[in-house]
Structure 1
Amino acid sequence: MDLMGMMGKLKETQQKIEDTKKRLDTVLIDEQSTDGLLKVTLTANRKIKSITIDDTLLEDKDQLEDYLILTLNKAIEKATKTNEAELDAVAKMDMPMIPGMDNLFK
């Protein structure tokens, strides 16, 4: 087993994971309420970029709060799936097959 080669490969993979994380800051996820009155955009790293609220929602605080919770949760779920799929692909693509190592990326 070439330990030095594997260490180099690990470093390379870590760098690719860092690069992917940076790139995911530029991947935007859009989500909106079913009626389109509330729109949110966040990065695949789950940072909120924008929230657009229709004026009609400003009249009902409870409704607005419900809309925010529902729509943000849907957006976060989408962003998380994108994030995990991207990082998973990088990790799997470059990892030498070492027994037990696949658990590190879960």
Structure 2
Amino acid sequence: MDLMGMMGKLKETQQKIEDTKKRLDTVLIDEQSADGLLKITLTANRKVKTISIDDSLLEDKEQLEDYLIVTLNKAIERATSVNEQELDAVAKMDMPMIPGMDNLFK
């Protein structure tokens, strides 16, 4: 087994993962409440970019809080899914299959 070659490959893969994470900052996930009164945009790295709240929600604090929780959770789930798929693809594409190494990037 060529250890130096593998270490080089590992560094290359880590660089690709970093590049992918940077790119995921530019991938936007839009989510909204069922009635469209609350809209949220996240990056695929799960950073909130925008929150748009319809004025009608401002009159009911509890309803607004519920909307935020539900909609943010849905947006975070979608962003996480995109994030994991992208990073898994990079790790799988470049890594030689070494037993036990598949959990390294989780």
Corresponding residue for residue 46 of structure 1: 46
Is 1:86 aligned to 2:86, yes or no? yes
CA–CA separation in structure 1 for the residues paired with 2:29 and 2:20? 16
For residue 99 of structure 1, report the CA deviation from its aligned partner.
Answer: 1.2
Is 1:13 aligned to 2:13, yes or no? yes
Identical positions, percent: 89
CA–CA separation in structure 1 for the residues paired with 2:100 and 2:64? 47
The aligned amino acid for 1:80 is T
Runs of 4+ in 1 over 4 A off after TM superposition: none
Partner SS for 1:45: coil
User: Pairwise mapping of residues 1-106 of structure 1 onto structure 2 (< 5 A)?
Assistant: 1-106=1-106
Q: CA RMSD in A?
A: 0.5
- Taking structure 1 as the reference length, the TM-score comes to 0.98
For residue 97 of structure 1, report the CA deviation from its aligned partner.
Answer: 1.2
CA–CA separation in structure 2 for the residues paired with 1:17 and 1:51? 28
Which consecutive unaligned segments of at least 5 residues does structure 1 have? none
The aligned amino acid for 2:52 is T
Deviation string, structure 1 residues 74-98 (Cα, Å, up to 9, x no partner): 0000000000000000000000111
For residue 105 of structure 1, report the CA deviation from its aligned partner.
Answer: 2.3
